[in-house]
Amino acid sequence: MRLRGWVVPVLIAALAGPLAAQTRTITGTVTDSATGQPLAGAQVNVKGGLQSAQSRDDGSFTLNRVPNQGVTLGVRLIGYRGLEVSVPLEESGPVAVALAKDPFKLEEVVVTGQFVGVERRNLANAISTVSSEDLRDVPTPSIEQQLQGKVAGADIQTNSGAPGGGVQVRMRGITSINSAAEPLYVVDGVVMSDVAIASNQNAVTAASQGSNPELTQDNQVNRIADLNPNDIERVEVLKGASASAIYGGRASNGVVVITTKKGRTGRAQVNATQRLGFFSLSNKLGSRVFANDAEVDAAYGAGVGAAVGCTPTSCPFFDHEQELAGRKPLSYETLASVSGGDDNTKYYASGNVKHDGGIIENTGFNREGVRLNLDQQLGSRVTLSVNTNFLHTKAERGLTNNDNSTTSYYVALAFIPSFVDLTRNPDGTFKPTAPSPPFPPSNPLQTAALSSNNEDVWRILSGANLEWRAIQSQNSSLRFIANGGLDFFNQRNALFFPPDLQFEPVDGLAGTSLLSKSDNTNLNLFGTVVHNYAPAGRGFSATTSAGVQFGRRNLDIDRTTGRNLVGGQSNIDAATNIQVQQRRELIKNLGYFLQEEVLTAGERLLLTAGIRADQSSANADAGKLYFFPKAAASYRFPNLIGEGSEFKLRGAYGESGNEPRYGQIFTPLTSTVNIGGVPSLIVSSGAETGAPDLRPERMREFEGGFDMQLAHGRANLEVTAYQKNVSDLLLRRDLFESSGFARQIFNGGKLRTRGIEAALGLQLVDHKDFAWFFRTTFAHNRSKITQLDVPSFQQGGFGASLGTWEFTEDSSATRIVGNDTLTAPLTLPDGTVLPTGSAVVRRIGDSNPDFRMGFGSDFTVKRFGLHFLFDWQKGSNILNLTKLLDDFGGVTPDFAVPLPQPVPFGNDLLTTVGGQRLAGFGVTAGNYVETASFLKLREVTLTYELPNSVVRGILGARRSARLSLSARNLFTVSDYTGLDPEVSNFGNQAIFRNIDVAPFPPSRSFWFSIDVGL
């Protein structure tokens, strides 16, 4: 039977009337309980229902289609304590909600699983969070530098002072010897690549042709520097295995979860920031001052003093470091964002342009980017979130770090005394380092002016999250979540060294052009189901989550090296000597996870258990599953230490992995030979092979601690102790020659790291016109090799003559050993007695610090604010091989300082400080081992909020503006005689850091900023 056209509308209207009568609308406002000011962005939810809303700029909110019955509203806002408000059926007026501040964000929801989390006050793991307010104080090239000194247990060090970053982040000490050292970065659910791709400057410096052919010394950038810190809402640092186990076989080094900013309900909010500043050289090595021509002749040969302009009473002095790195070009950063939306659609869009001028000519860092984050409500049960970020960065990093060709700036300066004039001639050419010899044919000022080392990166980060709330009732909910992410970047390295450079003709191939093109794609897909059950009256809630994750990483690097350029052209095809290299990597991962979380005993007891199973093509058996379990518990004791206090005990256990590096399961082949004119692949001499059961390193970690809040949340203390037991270490062992291979990579040995970390926060004063907040962090750890399935071995550095790392059972994993001469008899474990004067190899230092602390404070006095942060490292040793080079060249500032009395050395007498130090080369490596202790003022910022009347008069109604002056790395206090105690010649390494060889000099930065809200 066919219904008439008017029947359907009538039926709909008849049904709609009763349905409409069963719902109502609730309105209200959210304010600050102390000031009464409206709060925007507060999330208001009907408990057990689908209805939710955000408070607008004036604090108001509206909830539609609320069941026509008494309901409870949950109101939350980061930085404030959450509140539940009962709204009875007969309530008809607006609901007034006043939230109290939560300075330590104890009620923020922290990640504990894939798409699940708990309030910080119940957290059973030590997870550090850093908010957007903590990231805006001082601009930095990369997000890791923003975290320095703010996260207990995170050792964050810059590899050099070069523009664009290059930072090592190490969580809770050592977790490996030969595997990956950097944490996993997850941005809005997208696993972001942080790969550091070398520029190929080694083709000119020949740095890796010495004792470290496998370790790059190209001073490369790690790609997290592409991300704009101003787009970040907060950062969660998962340091322990119990927290990071949800990411399985790649999480032993910790996980950094980054959440970017989202739109908020209400009128469009426009924010703009303009910063102007500059960088300046913060430290110099200094150089020896020569008194007269006789001193020059004694050092460099007869007649040299007169040739360089010295007289019997004086010598010219040129400050080469100032000439090279004394630039202070204008730096700037422009930021703009707009956000807003309604209950169905929210958006956040931003754009940024940044330029950091380098202190050396032809160096600097640029970043441009746009971001669009959308959150769309598709009906009452389905939500779609899309995050897209287009990025472009360009780094110009000059030529620094170790070399074997005397071409990089500070290596060349080590052999050029201060009396040599390196400046430009009137015609624009550069003076040679004459007389040469004895000085090298390399003028660093010319190299900086005429050569280029450019890295150009285009990148897209995009992710989508689709959530379906299939069930939502007073007692339970069921969510299905699909998440996908893509991280793709193209990196182009172009280096040009024209034939005009004084060092270029030395090899007979004048002029070098280097071109590298790299493509990297990270693809990851998640499927997750989350069920929450909270039966009425039973006093507990249970959250179950399960899912699957697929990941694919593809890296392709093509390098072309052209030498002997025709006519000084920079094109590769203008060279007569051309070499081509290619490297391709493809890794696929598949993981499964299951987790159960129970909150009971009046929300005081939290119990968590879960497991992750991973398989990876980086393992010998790509189809084998490796399981990583986790378990944690915490219990809160309210008012245990007095009214307004809370004490929480917590403990956790977890396992995570560190997969083999790409290619360790394969045998490398070379195609550089042919047989009878036919190209062929052969196993190269000294080739390695992977063990047939090669698998991930496994970390098992126990952690326990307590959190304590006093004075109604105005003081907060977190203390954690942990022990990490790492087994199945990736090691190398020698093979018999008959096998056809030199070495095999296999799993063997164990490593233990123990440590303690603490964080203290104090809200000392919190008044309307004056507030004072103080925070400090502390971290200490020690590592030990507990089992080694190969004989003791040395690795890293430049051998025992200069200092290297030695791995022996029952010894520190970060122990530095080197040549030494006994000053007293020494009895060996086997009873042998070595007499005084014997040459031995023994411990000369340790690269692990005794402890690391951060001290920060924020003051607010009416409209003025002051922020500062100190970073203190105590202990640790560094190999100052830049000083060794300067001693070789005789230019160290104290080289000619007389000793109090001559020191016998063989048949000679040593009479100067530098001579004594240099005489120990190859005999006493400790001469160039120094302390790496330091105290740095990382950040300092002074702000002023313009009065509303002034802002309204200039910009109109409802505007805000803030002015600020800031500085970063303003000063360093250290006994280290090198440029910077944080440097690492070999970049990001699990252990082999703390080697100083001619790095890019450090700088301090100064900024003036104006922030405007429209």
Q: pLDDT, tens digit, for every residue of 80-133?
A: 887 888 888 877 778 888 888 877 777 777 877 777 778 888 888 888 888 888
Q: Which residues contact 906 (CB under 8 A, 6 or more apart)?
A: none
d(CA 633, CA 122): 9
Confidence of residue 212 (pLDDT cuts 50, 70, 90): low
Per-residue pLDDT, 214: 64
Q: Which two three-digit tokens encode residue 716?
A: 């907060």
Spatial distance between the Cα atoms of 158 and 985, rounded to a whole number of angstroms:
11
**Range 213-219 average pLDDT:** 77
Which residues 6+ apart lie within 8 Å of 994 measured at CB?
816, 847, 876, 877, 878, 879, 932, 984
Using CA atoms, how far apart are residues 118 and 114, in angstroms rounded to an integer? 12
Residue 766: partners with Cβ closer than 8 Å, 6 or more residues away: 34, 101, 103, 714
- Going across the sheet that includes 804-807, the strands are 793-795, 804-807, 815-821, 839-846
> Do 728 and 696 contact (CB within 8 A), yes or no?
yes
pLDDT in tens, 919-937: 888 889 999 999 999 999 9
Residue 22, class by beta-carbon neighbours within 10 Å (0-12 exposed, 13-18 middle, 19+ buried)? Answer: exposed
Which pLDDT does position 587 carry in this prediction? 94
Residues 816 and 883: beta-carbon distance below 8 Å: no
CA atoms within 13 A on the CB side of 881: 24
Which residue is listed with tokens 């200039």? 954
Q: How confident is the model at residue 20 (pLDDT cuts 50, 70, 90)?
A: very low
Q: Which pTM value belongs to this model?
A: 0.90
Instruction: Decide: helix, strand or coil at residue 91.
Output: coil
With CA atoms as reference, report the closest residue to 408 among 356, 455, 451.
451
d(CA 52, CA 46): 6
Beta partners for residue 385, in sequence order: 375, 465
Q: What is the pLDDT of residue 219?
A: 86
Which of 533-537, 712-716, 717-721, 747-751 is predicted with the least confidence, judged by mean pLDDT?
533-537
Whole-angstrom distance, CA of residue 276 vs CA of residue 139: 10
> How many angstroms separate the CA atoms of 861 and 254, rounded?
38
688-690 β-sheet, strand order: 688-690, 743-747, 730-734
Tell me how many degrees the CA angle 658-664-669 measures, rounded to the nearest 5: 165
Task: Supply the pLDDT for residue 102.
Answer: 78
Burial of 91 (0-12, 13-18, 19+ CB in 10 A): middle
Query: What does DSSP assign to residue 242?
Result: H
Give dist(CA 596, CA 633) in Å, integer. Answer: 12
Note the pLDDT of residue 673. Answer: 64
pLDDT score recorded for residue 10: 41
Q: Is the pLDDT confidence value at 1 over 70?
A: no
The SS3 assignment for 925 reads: helix
Q: Which tens digits make up the pLDDT trace of 682-733? A: 777 678 889 999 999 999 999 999 999 998 888 999 999 999 999 999 999 9
Beta bridge partners of 573: none
Whether residue 352 is predicted with pLDDT greater than 90 in this model: the reply is: yes
Q: What is the pLDDT of residues 641-653, one digit of tens each?
A: 888 889 999 999 9
Cis peptide before 437 (omega within 30 of 0): yes
Is residue 630 within 8 A of residue 608, CB to CB? The reply is: yes
Report the pLDDT averaged over residues 247-258: 88
Q: Residues 56, 340: contact at Cβ < 8 Å?
A: no
Q: Report, as an integer, the average pLDDT of 240-264.
A: 87
Exposure string over 350-361, b if 16+ CB within 10 A, otherwise e: bbbebbbbbbbb
Extract the tokens encoding 737. Answer: 């020659």
Q: State the greatest distance between any 2 C-alpha atoms of the chain, in Å, as a whole number.
A: 121
What does the pLDDT look like over 291-345, one tens digit per residue?
999 999 999 999 999 999 999 999 999 999 999 999 999 999 999 999 998 888 9
Least confident of 55-69, 209-223, 904-918: 209-223
User: What are 744's strand-pairing partners?
Assistant: 689, 733
Q: Are 627 and 616 in contact (CB under 8 A)?
A: no
Residue 17's pLDDT is 43
Burial 196-226 (b: 16+ CB within 10 A, else e): bbbbbbbbbbbbbeeebeebbbbbbbbbbbb
Contact between 157 and 166 (Cβ < 8 Å): no
Contact present, 123 and 139 (Cβ < 8 Å):
no
- What is the C-alpha separation between 451 and 463, in angstroms, rounded? 39
Q: How many CB atoms lie within 10 A of CB 187?
A: 24
Beta strand spans in 767-897 (E): 770-787, 793-795, 804-807, 815-821, 826-827, 833-834, 839-846, 849-861, 864-875, 877-880
State residue 401's pLDDT score: 93
pLDDT at position 955, please? 65
Q: How many other C-beta atoms lie within 10 A of the C-beta of residue 904? A: 8
Tokens representing 661 are 């590096």
The 3-state DSSP class for residue 573 equals helix
Q: What is the per-residue pLDDT across 142-190, written as a single tens digit (0 to 9) for each?
A: 888 888 889 999 998 889 999 987 888 899 999 999 888 889 999 998 8
Q: 């020949």: which residue's tokens?
A: 206
Query: What is the Cα–Cα distance from 453 to 407, expressed in whole angstroms?
Result: 13
CA distance 880 to 883: 6
The encoded tokens of residue 57 equal: 């700029």
How high is the mean pLDDT of the chain?
89
Q: Is the pLDDT of residue 19 over 50?
A: no
If pLDDT is split at 50, 70 and 90, which confidence band does 970 have?
Answer: very high
Closest CA to 818 of 873, 877, 871: 877
Question: Tell me, what's the pLDDT at 564?
Answer: 92
Of 23 and 277, the one with more pLDDT: 277
* Best CA proximity match to 102, nearest among 28, 42, 27: 42
First to last CA, the chain: 61
Best mean pLDDT range from 199-213, 518-532, 654-668, 729-743: 518-532
Contact 730, 706 (CB under 8 A): no
CA of residue 369 relative to chain centroid, distance: 20
Amino acid at 663: G
- Which residue do the tokens 């060092």 mark? 503
Helices marked H in 110-224 — which ranges?
132-135, 143-147, 202-205
Could you give the CA distance from residue 588 to residue 525 in angstroms, rounded to a whole number? 12
Whether cis (ω within 30° of 0) applies to the bond prior to 435 is yes
pLDDT at 18: 44
Closest CA to 996 of 148, 157, 159, 155: 159
Calpha distance 207→210 (Å, rounded): 6
Distance between CA atoms of residues 900 and 807, nearest Å: 39
- Collapsing DSSP to helix, strand or coil, 46 comes out as strand
pLDDT value at position 11?
41
- Please return the burial class of 281, using the count of CB atoms within 10 Å of its CB with bins 0-12, 13-18 and 19+: buried
Q: How far apart are CA 240 and CA 724, in angstroms?
A: 9
Q: What is the pLDDT of residue 821?
A: 84
Amino acid of residue 1002: P
- Element of type H or E holding 918: helix 913-919
Give the C-alpha separation, 358 to 946, whole Å.
33
Greatest mean pLDDT among 195-209, 254-268, 598-612 lies in 598-612
Sign of the Cα torsion 415, 419, 424, 429 reads negative
Instruction: With beta carbons less than 8 A apart as the criterion, state whether 351 and 369 touch.
Output: yes
Q: Which of 79, 224, 177, 142 is nearest to 847 (CA)?
A: 177
Give yes or no for residue 1013 having a pLDDT over 90.
no
Average pLDDT value for residue range 433-443: 86
Which residues, in sequence order, are bridge partners of residue 871? 854, 936
Burial of 540: CB neighbours in 10 Å, binned 0-12, 13-18, 19+ = middle
Percentage of the chain beyond pLDDT 70 is 96
Cβ–Cβ < 8 Å for 338, 272: no
